Amino acid sequence: MTGANGSSLVQAGGVAIEGRNLVLSFGETPALQGADLCVKRGEIVAVMGPSGSGKSTLLYCLAGILVPDSGEVYFDGQRLDAMREAERSRLRRDRFGFVFQFGQLVPELTAEENVALPLLLRGTHREEALREARSWFEQLELEGMERHRTGEMSGGQSQRVALARGLVAHPDVLFADEPTGSLDSMNGELVMGLLTRVARQQGSTVILVTHEPRVAAYADREVIVRDGRVSSMAPVMQ
């Protein structure tokens, strides 16, 4: 089912991103042992699995943060794993969005500056980027907190800011690693409701690592990673 360089399938099938036979070890410890994952454009996929199964490693390989020892990662018809670091870095900046478990906001910046960051890095004029960032605060239910810094916000509020930062530049793919892992049920619901609603409106593909079934239930389908390999549990969205 794969073409000579994989790109024809990736484009023809409406595939957003695909990892094939990914293998990666950290020293003597194998993390991925032949993992395959193909995600269609606009699809929201939850990656589940026990601790240490390789689910976050898979996410970072697909996002071009880690390079597999062998195997291939395709994004938009390009071999992401074969790119130079500078090229991958540009791709991450221009086409991908990220949300991590603990928000990882820049503490020196205000909430609106944090949201605007991906736009500023892409070269958007500062005033325009901040205007766009401010427009997110109503749907984040954070009106009035635009100038607050990380220390002045709760964990749930910070995570909503981090989510807006991940989505503000309309990424082709949003990579979310346990985005509700540090939140209580109510804040987790707020974040996931917002994430899925905005991603669907924008047409962003989402790859979501989670160990929580209630979070995975927001996805179109889920896959399980066991011992560095992926087993699907439901057919790919048609």
Partner 1 sequence: MSVPMALLGLLDREPSHGYDLKHDYDAYFARGRPLPFGQVYATLARLARDGKAIVGEAEPGAGPDRKRYTITETGKSEVEAWLAEPIPAEPYLQTDLFVKVVLSLMLGRRAEEYLDAQRAAHLRRMRELTELKQRDSLVDTLLADHGLFHLEADLRWIDLTEARLAALAEEVAS
- The residue ranges that bind partner 1 (CB under 8 A) are 50, 193, 212-214, 216-219, 222, 224, 231, 233-234
CB of 47 to partner 1, least distance (A): 13
Nearer to partner 1, 44 or 174 (CB): 44
Give the three-class secondary structure for 14: coil
Write the DSSP assignment of 168-235 as a string of letters: TT--SEEEEESTTTTS-HHHHHHHHHHHHHHHHHHT-EEEEE-S-HHHHTTSSEEEEEETTEEEESSP
CB of 45 to partner 1, least distance (A): 12
CB of 59 to partner 1, least distance (A): 19
Q: Within 13-154, where are the H helices?
A: 55-62, 85-95, 111-121, 126-134
Angle of helix 185-202 relative to helix 155-167, nearest 10 degrees, comes to: 10
Strand partners, 32: 24
Please tell me the distance from the alpha carbon of residue 31 to that of residue 229, in angstroms, as a whole number.
Answer: 9
Nearer to partner 1, 73 or 216 (CB): 216
Strand order in the sheet with 70-75: 29-40, 15-26, 70-75, 78-79
Radius of gyration of the chain (CA): 18
CB of 39 to partner 1, least distance (A): 17
CB of 168 to partner 1, least distance (A): 22
Please tell me the distance from the alpha carbon of residue 182 to that of residue 114, in angstroms, as a whole number.
Answer: 19
CB of 31 to partner 1, least distance (A): 19
